[in-house]
Every structure is written in structure tokens, then in C-alpha cells.
Amino acid sequence: MFTGIVEIIGVVSELNPQSEDGGTNLTISNASGILDDCHLGDSISVNGTCLTVTAFDKSTFQVGVAPETLRRTNLGSLKQGSHVNLERAVSASTRMGGHFVQGHVDTVGIILKIEPDGNALTFRFQPREKSVLRYVVEKGYVTLDGASLTVTKVDDGEGWWEVMLIAYTQDKVVTASKKQGEEVNVEVDQIGKYVEKAVEGYFSNGSGGEPAILQKMVERIRIGTQALLTVLRLFSTPFEGFYRKYAIAVAQWTAGPHYFDAWCYDDGPRDDLGVGL
């Protein structure tokens, strides 16, 4: 797990394709700032992708990139000399300056527009997988190439969101040097996914039918409405007409027309409890 606070920018010094499985070995240099406590098997976020260290020395390290990772991320477009955001996995003493980042990229986003705003830059992104948009909310978090950033604007209809890079951040992340049309790795806030699944499970009866919790709610409303109509039939008040009309309107909305099969009496239509309409 990571925080989305980029520690240093590394440089891709070597790419070695592996024909057996279609993956790639990456060697990244200029990384001495994060290797002083490194061990084989450690996780390092490379442009927001959690990768395992397979070899390292004082200033370089090597990671393997699986075919699935190449398909889902922008790592397949890296070349010798490309710059990448780097962050070590969190430790017990790490300050949580960003948000919980897993390093599991959801999709890539295309830069639609870059606009200066004073000394800041506003970037507009459109995701390749449109389904991730439901997890992107204004003032929420999104991870772009491993950097935790705040969403400043979202347009679900047109399918984009915006973030702003202040002057300080521009010097710390690779996104600031990218141009319109280039891609970034996108990881949405995982908390939104967990909440969505929990809510779906709570409201679902597991059979694809009417949500069980809604069935219970409707049944309780029906029982309550029947009791209310019975009380109104037994007691007369100065506001009897108003209460009856209100109760019947609620009952018609909740219980449905099958319950209120009205017929006419001499003094006007009544419901099946005998309450005047």
C-alpha cells in the first residue's frame, strides 16, 4: 500500500522484453533516495503501479512487469530515458499525506486539455474505462501516475474530470511534463468501491429480484397504513377529512391500487376498509 506522495522521479535505464510470457523487465536508475532500506521482494510504486523489486544496488533497481500490467497501464509505452514517479510502500511510521493507494491501476486516462491558472496547471482527463467515473467525485481523491491528487471538477455527462497541479507539485511529479493526448495511470479511491459493494449487498436479496430491504420497508409501510386507516375510521376529529385524505393518499402510494379497490356507497366512494374517500 502507498500514500500517493511521490518520493522521487526515477529514469528508465533499460527495458528487457521477455518473450516467454510477454512481460518486461524494467531497470530504473536515479533511485538512490528510496533504496537505502530496500530488500528483495519489496514493493515500489512505479507510475502508480505496484511492482516487486527483483534486483537492486545503491542507485538502481529492477522490476518485472506482467503482460496484464502492460495491457492495463501506460508502462508499455515507456522507453529508455522515460521519467517515472517512485514511492516506497508505507511503513508504520509513514505520514499519510495523501490517501490509501493500492498500486492497482484501474485504467489509463487521456489528457484532454491543459490550462494554466496563475502559476498552477489544470489538467482534464478522460478515462479509457468510463465505468470508473462513478468513483470520481469533486473534492475527492484520484491517483494519477501514483500521485494522490484532489479532483477539482467532474462532468459525468461528457466523461471527464479535472485536477490542479500547484507549482510545488509540478516539480515533483511526471504528469506536469506530459502533453495533451498522452496517458496517465488512473487508480480511483478504493473506499468508494468497498462502499458500493457493501451497499449493493445490503440491498440485494442475491437473486436479482426486488431488494429484500425494500420489500421489508414496503411491508412495514403497508401495515402501518392499515393501522392508521383503522384508527381514523374509529375516531372522529375536526380534521377528520384532512387526515383521511392524507392517509389514503399515502396508502395509495405505498400499498398500490390492488389494496384500494374503491367502490361507491350512497355517500360517495370508499376504500375496502370502509373509510370515505
Whether 275 shows a pLDDT value over 70: the answer reads no
What average pLDDT does the chain have?
83
Question: Could you tell me the pLDDT band of residue 199, with boundaries at 50, 70 and 90?
Answer: confident
Whole-angstrom Cα distance, residue 46 to residue 165? 20
Name the residue with cell 459525468.
156
pLDDT in tens, 36-77: 999 999 999 999 999 999 999 999 999 999 999 999 999 989
Band of the pLDDT at 96, cuts 50, 70, 90?
A: confident
Buried residues in 240-277 as b, exposed as e (16+ CB within 10 A): eeebbeebbeebbebbeeeebeeeeeeeeebbeeebbe
191-200: which pairs have CB atoms within 8 A and are 24 or more residues apart? 191/100, 192/134, 192/135, 192/137, 192/140, 193/135, 196/134, 196/135
pTM attached to this predicted model: 0.72
**CATH architecture classification, 8-88:** Beta Barrel (2.40)
Helix (H) or strand (E) holding 10: strand 8-17
Cβ-Cβ contacts under 8 Å for 187 (sequence gap 6 or more): 48, 101, 102, 103, 104, 105, 106, 142, 143
Of 96, 114, 3, residue with least CA distance to 48: 3
* 9 — pLDDT class (breaks 50, 70, 90): very high
Fold observed for domain 107-199: Elongation Factor Tu (Ef-tu); domain 3 (2.40.30)
Place of cell 385524505: 245
Tens-digit pLDDT profile for residues 77-93: 999 999 999 999 988 77
Q: Catalytic amino acids?
A: 2, 43, 50, 52, 66, 104, 150
Number of H helices, E strands in the chain: 5, 14
pLDDT score at 226 = 73
Q: At 50, which helix (H) or strand (E)?
A: strand 49-56
- pLDDT tens digits along 225-247: 777 766 666 655 555 566 566 66
Which pLDDT does position 266 carry in this prediction? 41
- Give CA–CA dist 111/185, Å, rounded: 11
276 has pLDDT over 70: no
Task: Name residues whose C-beta falls within 8 Å of residue 12's C-beta, 6 or more positions apart in sequence.
Answer: 26, 27, 28, 29, 78, 79, 80, 81, 82, 83, 84
Listed in order, the ranges of the chain carrying CATH 2.40.30.20 are: 8-88, 107-199
